[in-house]
Amino acid sequence: MENKETFTRWPSLAGIWFGGVVSVPALIIGSSLISGLSFGNAVWVGLIGFCFVIFFMSLLSVAAVEKRKATVDLAASSFGHTGAKIIVGLVVGLSTLGWFGIQSNIAGASFTQIMVEMNGPDIPSWASSVFWGIIMVITAVFGFKYLKWLNYIAVPAIILLLVYGLFITFQEHSFGEVLTFRPGTKMPLLQAIGLTIGFISVGGVISPDYNRFAQTKRDAVLGSLFGILPSALCLLAIGAILAITQETYDIVQIFSKLGFPFFAMTILILATWTSNVMNIYSSGLAFNNLFNANEVTRSRTTLIVGVLGIILAAVGILSRFMDFITLLTITITPIAGVMISDYYLTKSYKENSKKINWKGLVSWGAGVLVMILMTSQIKNVLGIVASAMVYFLLQKINKD
């Protein structure tokens, strides 16, 4: 009999998700959306996209609490034991590697900006990105146990920075200016929803890794809802407001224009540092599991993956931010569709799975294919539905 005292109530889970969401990329989503949407539409799009992810995240989390299993173990029923390791491990490993490259690029660009503002040397952004990428990889490999202390400083610091940013902004601008803003170009609403889905889709799929420790199913759902929705919406809105008032969608330029660039850029670097160490740690762990390596080799794997992430930062992956988010939406959400179909629709979940379940792999591939081939913007929402339906049909045709 499990001791409920070892499990977590929803406020603690909400705190974990809150800390994960409060990051620079959350602001970039807001500043990116505002390039093609009004402020009101950007907030509505965020609400719809985030709620969509929280919905499938809650379904996976309920299953995780019932079975007390992590993502790969839950996915083993629908993808097979080896199939789950390959699909989930590869997708999660590559996505967190991409996030590492983007955030290293942000830190590098911020550092370059600090030097220029302080009349220092004009360091190339790629060189700064490489420097900070190396620092972050070293932290992940050798100093991970001290990261929580860095988090205690970084999360409150970036919140204070955002409050300060809004205070300065509304001394010179009115909220009416934000509400009446109209972008020069138009972004289709469904495409925008897809971008907000992609932003937290990784967290949605790997949510069983954390929410399986919830004391009850209700705790798992409430922890996800209150940890993600308020923080993600607030940061999206703040990113949009700052982009409108500072007349740029470049997050580094936005904070540079607010004044006190040294403190602003230092906090940006600190914020990316803490979340980025988690990215490269998770990526190294995912690839380590993918290749069935033991814990001893995790540090070596993290170093190798870290070098790849640094290369991504050096070539300027930040400039491909929107494409990267789209790629996440395409590859990750169909995984959730297959798992939900297996557990809830077909009720075919099995504890002892085979090595490869071809029905899960085909269904995931179908969801990815729908998102790639469809020209309609509704494809960003239909991928998860397509993978779930294909798995449902295959399971009905061939039960085993």
- Residue 197: is its pLDDT beyond 80? yes
Inter-residue contact 171 to 259 (CB < 8 Å):
no
Q: What pLDDT, in 10s, does the model give residues 313-344?
A: 898 888 887 788 878 878 888 999 999 999 99
Inter-residue contact 87 to 358 (CB < 8 Å):
no
Find the helix or strand (DSSP H, E) in which 98 lies. helix 81-117
Residue 300: partners with Cβ closer than 8 Å, 6 or more residues away = none
Cα(98)–Cα(317) distance, integer angstroms: 8
pTM of structure: 0.84
| Confidence band of 1 (pLDDT split at 50, 70, 90) | very low
Q: Which of 70, 140, 40 is nearest to 100 (CA)?
A: 140
Residue 53 in 3-state DSSP? helix
- CATH placement of domain 8-397: 1.10.4160.10
Position 179 scores a pLDDT of: 92
- Residue 45: is its pLDDT beyond 80? yes
Q: Which of 6, 266, 301, 339 is nearest to 110 (CA)?
A: 266
Where do the domains of the chain lie? Answer: 8-397
Tell me what the pLDDT averaged over the chain comes to: 85
Q: DSSP string of 265-334?
A: HHHHHHHHHHHHHHHHHHHHHHHHHHTT--GGGHHHHHHHHHHHHHHHHHTTGGGGHHHHHHHHHHHHHH
Cα(263)–Cα(241) distance, integer angstroms: 20
